[in-house]
Each structure stands twice: as structure tokens, then as C-alpha cells.
């Protein structure tokens, strides 16, 4: 069964009857939609079949809104791992609500969804323009964050008890799944609560979303690390610079950073399995590279090569339910050193893992712009009575997407697609390192 137009319809709390306080001439209508011809492998994205020419609702301010601004109580929460740009989103949400719509009651939920559960004892934060005026210059999140599943009934109990009308949720695919469940529970209780998401994943792996905030900053910071690894590799005979970057299930950061810098000789990603040993294996190709050029730079995504580890016992998961990955960076370092030691070839290997440094920096200019636009459109959607949706960039257009459409699967690099072909051309590595 194929996805249809109705699969991407946006829920509303009711008919908007209040004239918008915005004096703009670019109001959007719910009948304004964009067609997105998306070329994806449906087996990896949605089991229902390929999505072609989807009709998506355009984001933007509406001439009529649902909520009376003076009576609105809004809440903002950030969940999951840290990412450049979270503070930019929080600031833009507050500024848009306060100055454009006149909303004066905005609270920040601290430490993720834990902040809504009384037993954790986390205080709320009052959000005003004065509080958020300079936070875009800070890394992390002024609200802090947390991982882990929380009871949906308890979460909605808190929203109901606090008389929240608009709930803005910043997070990745797991957070969007939770937001969908919150939406369903508020609907079951007939609560007029708009639940609006702003997608956050530094890995840029949310399906359908063209680019998520923090990704551009991650590339910029990763490039600096690759430059250092290249200098180290060339600074000693048979030098190797090994860099591990983020990317649990997809290699977007590793691939894009390699293309941005051009110094990498090998890029290892989760989507492309490889062997270590054997004539066609990675170690043999690395040896050939060192003999030919006397140095090499390797980029590995954190989720690459997980099949190289033997699994014993039950699968371990973190607080968010993600499978705990084996450390491919350390494993690769040890196997490389062992391989050349057995061959009595002296190497100089430098291993760099900048992941937490990259996650913690402030957003660059490009990401700051994206954060601001996503937040502004999220406020427009919420004030218009939308719910159960997020704002995303799809094929250069800002649109509304239901939570269920984005939280279905991850967006992966196609090993037969253009991006990976460009990486292979840039690095010179073989198309396959499987025996």
C-alpha cells in the first residue's frame, strides 16, 4: 500500500477564528502545498512503498489563529543529546511568542521530559526575552536535557495540571515518537494542547528532513579535526591520523566532512560493511596506501563496523532504548597497530575522537539561521491550532510533517548514490572492502 496525500495531513485542535496579530502580507493557507518527489529506497525508509510526489502543507503564519495570545501558556523542552543550535531554537521560540504574538506566559521544562515528572524534582524556568537574549552564544541547552522513556500518562497529567496550551518539543526521532504519543493522549482526553516538534539530530538522519540543525556546525568542527589529523599523519614516517565522528546508524557527518576537507583517504560508515583482514580488506588497502604515500587519514563513523564485534549475551541499550555501540574507533586503532606490528612495520598512529567537543559548541551562522526559521514556523503552526506535527525543511521548502512520518525510520546514505560516489572519488578508496 502506497502512502497517500492523507497520510501527511496535519491534525488541528479546531477551526481558527481569531484574526492574527501579525501585520504581514505573506500569510499562508492550509490549501497551499508543495510536491516533493523523493527518491529513496523504500525498503530502508517506509515499508509501505516509495513516496513520490507527496503533497505537504506549507509552513508559515496563518491569517486566522486558534489561540487567544493573552491566554496562552506555552512550554518548551529539549530532549536527547546535546547539539549545536538548541539555544538558538529556544531563543527564537520565546522571541516569536513574546514579541510577535504577545504571549507572556512561557516556561522552560528542565532536563528533558523528566522535568514534567514531579518525582524528579526539577524546577521549571520562566522564559522571557531578558532570560534568552544572549543564549545563542552558548553551547548546549539552557534547559539542559536527559534521555530515557517517561510515562506518557504522567507527562500529560502534568501538562493538564499546569494548563499548558502549547508544548514545543526539541528532539530527535525518539523524542518525536514520544511527542506523537503525547498528542494521542491529549486527544483521547479531549485536551486542547498543541504539540509541535522542532527536529534535532546532529547526525542529519531524520527521514524526509533535508537538513536538521547542528549538522552544518558539526561539519565545520569535524573539518578542523581532520586537518589536525592530516598534519599529524604527515608529521611522522608512516603516519596515520584516525578520526572517529558521530553517526550511529548513518554516515552523513563522516561523508560530508570528508568532502568538505578532501584530506581523508578512507571513510568508513555504517551503511557500507567492510572486512579488516584479507586481500580486499581494509588493513591491506591501508598498507598499500602507506607504502605508496607514507601517510594516511581515516574517518570512521561511530556506528561503522559493528558486525566486526562478536555479540555475547543480551543486547545492551542506553536510557533512550538505543543499542549500545561497540567502540569502533578504539577497536580500529588496536587492530591497525596489531596488523603492522606483526608485519614488523613501524607506524605512527594518532587517534582523535572529538565527538563531545563538536556537540557542545555554539551553532555557526548557517545553523543559527535554520534554527530561527524552524522556531518561528513552529510558533505560527502552534498558534494556528496545529498539533501532532513538526516543522522541517524538505526539498528547500519549510513544511508541516506529522510526527509519525518522520519517526518511522532513519535516513541513510545510499552506497550506490551520488554522495557516496563522490566520497569514493575524493578518497580514492576502493568501492568495496569486503572479501
Set 88, 173, 203, 216: catalytic member: 203
Catalytic: 203? Answer: yes
**DSSP letter at 362?**
P
Q: What is the largest CA-CA distance in the chain?
A: 78
Cβ pair 422, 221 in contact under 8 A: no
Region at 330 (left for phi over 0; alpha for psi -120 to 50; beta for the rest): alpha
**DSSP letter at 109?**
E
Cβ pair 302, 246 in contact under 8 A: yes
Contacts 24+ apart (CB under 8 A), 280-287: 280/430, 280/432, 280/433, 280/434, 280/435, 281/433, 281/434, 281/435, 282/433, 283/335, 283/336, 283/339, 285/429, 285/430, 285/433, 286/240, 286/336, 287/339, 287/340, 287/343, 287/345
**Distances, alpha carbon 229 to alpha carbons 240, 285, 303, 365, in Å:** 8, 19, 20, 25
Residues in CB range of 337: below 8 A, 6 or more apart: 347, 349
Determine the Cα–Cα distance for residues 118 and 130; give it in Å rounded to an integer: 27
Q: SS3 of 267, please?
A: strand
Among residues 168, 163, 192, 189, which one has the least CA distance to residue 179?
168
Question: Which residue has 518511522 as its cell numbers?
Answer: 408
Positions annotated as catalytic residues are 203
Amino acid at each position: 500500500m502506497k502512502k497517500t496525500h492523507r497520510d501527511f495531513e496535519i491534525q488541528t485542535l479546531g477551526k481558527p477564528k481569531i484574526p492574527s496579530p501579525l501585520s504581514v502580507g505573506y500569510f499562508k493557507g492550509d490549501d497551499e502545498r508543495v510536491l516533493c518527489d523523493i527518491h529513496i529506497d523504500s525498503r530502508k525508509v517506509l515499508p509501505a512503498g516509495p513516496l513520490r510526489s507527496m503533497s505537504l502543507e506549507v509552513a508559515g503564519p496563518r491569517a486566522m489563529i486558534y489561540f487567544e495570545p493573552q491566554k496562552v501558556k506555552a512550554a518548551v523542552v529539549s530532549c536527547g543529546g546535546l547539539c549545536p543550535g538548541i539555544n538558538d531554537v529556544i531563543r527564537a521560540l520565546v522571541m516569536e511568542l513574546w514579541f510577535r504574538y504577545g504571549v507572556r506566559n512561557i516556561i522552560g521544562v528542565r532536563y528533558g521530559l523528566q522535568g514534567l515528572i514531579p518525582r524528579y524534582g526539577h524546577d521549571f524556568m520562566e522564559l522571557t526575552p531578558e532570560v534568552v537574549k544572549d543564549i545563542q552564544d552558548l553551547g548546549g541547552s539552557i534547559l539542559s536535557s536527559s534521555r530515557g522513556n517517561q510515562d506518557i500518562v504522567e507527562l500529560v497529567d502534568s501538562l493538564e495540571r499546569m494548563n499548558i496550551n502549547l508544548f514545543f518539543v526539541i528532539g530527535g526521532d525518539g523524542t518525536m515518537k514520544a511527542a506523537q504519543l503525547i498528542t494521542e493522549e491529549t486527544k483521547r482526553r479531549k485536551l486542547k494542547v498543541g504539540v509541535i516538534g522542532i527536529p534535532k539530530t546532529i547526525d542529519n538522519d531524520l527521514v524526509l528532513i533535508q537538513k536538521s540543525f547542528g549538522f552544518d556546525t558539526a561539519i565545520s568542527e569535524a573539518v578542523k579535526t581532520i586537518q589536525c589529523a592530516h598534519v599529524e599523519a604527515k608529521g611522522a614516517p608512516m603516519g596515520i591520523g584516525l578520526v572517529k565522528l558521530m553517526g550511529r546508524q548513518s554516515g552523513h557527518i563522516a561523508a560530508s566532512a570528508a568532502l568538505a576537507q578532501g584530506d581523508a583517504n578512507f571513510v568508513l560508515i555504517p551503511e557500507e560493511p567492510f572486512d579488516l583482514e584479507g586481500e580486499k580488506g581494509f588493513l591491506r588497502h591501508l598498507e598499500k596506501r602507506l607504502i605508496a604515500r607514507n601517510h594516511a587519514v581515516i574517518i570512521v563513523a561511530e556506528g561503522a563496523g559493528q558486525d566486526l564485534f562478536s555479540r555475547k549475551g543480551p543486547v545492551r541499550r542506553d536510557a533512550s532504548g538505543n543499542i549500545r555501540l561497540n567502540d569502533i574507533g578504539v577497536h580500529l586503532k588496536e587492530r591497525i597497530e596489531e596488523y603492522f606490528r606483526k608485519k614488523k612495520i613501524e607506524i605512527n598512529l594518532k587517534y582523535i575522537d572529538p565527538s563531545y567537543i563538536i556537540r557542545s559548541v555554539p551553532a555557526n551562522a548557517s545553523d543559527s539561521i535554520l534554527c530561527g526559521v524552524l522556531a518561528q514556523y513552529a510558533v505560527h503552526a502552534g498558534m494556528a491550532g496545529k498539533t501532532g506535527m513538526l516543522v522541517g525543511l524538505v526539498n528547500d521548502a519549510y513544511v508541516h510533517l506529522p510526527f509519525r512520518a518522520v519517526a518511522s525510520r532513519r535516513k541513510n546514505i545510499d552506497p550506490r548514490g551520488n554522495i557516496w560516489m563522490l566520497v569514493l572519488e575524493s578518497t580514492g578508496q576502493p568501492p568495496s572492502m569486503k572479501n
